[in-house]
Chains A and B, each alone.
Chain A
Amino acid sequence: MWDFPLVPEQASTVAPEVDHLTLFILAINIGITALVFALLFLFSIMYARRSESEVPPQYHGSMLLEIGWSIIPSLICLVIFIWGVKVYAEIIVPPADSTDVYIVGRQWMWKAQYPTGQREINALHVAVGKPVKLTITSEDVLHSFSIPAFRVKSDAVPGRYTTMWFQPTKPGTYHLFCTEYCGTEHSRMIGKIVVMEEADHQKWLSEKAELGDALQGRKLFSKLQCVTCHAGESQARAPSLEEIYMKRIPLALDKGSAVAPGTTVLADENYLRESIRYPSARIAAGFQYPSIMPAYDESLVSEDEMFQLIAYVKSLKKGQTPTRIEQTTIPSALGAPAVRK
Chain B
Amino acid sequence: MFLYDIVILGAGPGGYVAAIRAAQLGAKVCIIEKEHVGGTCLNWGCIPTKAMYRSATLFEQMRKAESFGLSCKEPAAHLDRIVARNQQIVNDLRQGVERLFRRHKVNLVFGTGLVKEPGEVEVVTREGEKERVRGRQLIIATGSEPMALAILPWDHERVFNTRSVLELKRIPKSLFIIGGGVSGCEFALVFDALGSEIHMAKRSKDPIKGLDRDLTKELVRVFKKRRFRLHFGDPPVAAVQTAGGIEVALQSGAKVETEMVLVTVGRVPASAGLGCEGIGLHMEGGAVQVNEHCQTNVPGIYAIGDVTGRHLLAHYASHQGLVAVEHALGNRSAAVDEHAVPAAIFTSPEIATVGLTSQECEGRGIGYRHGIFPFRALGKAQAIGEIEGFVKAIAATESDRIIGMHIIGPDASTLLAECTLAVNRRVTLAEFAGTIHAHPTLAEALWEAVEDVRGRSIHKLDFGL
Chains A and B come from one and the same complex = no
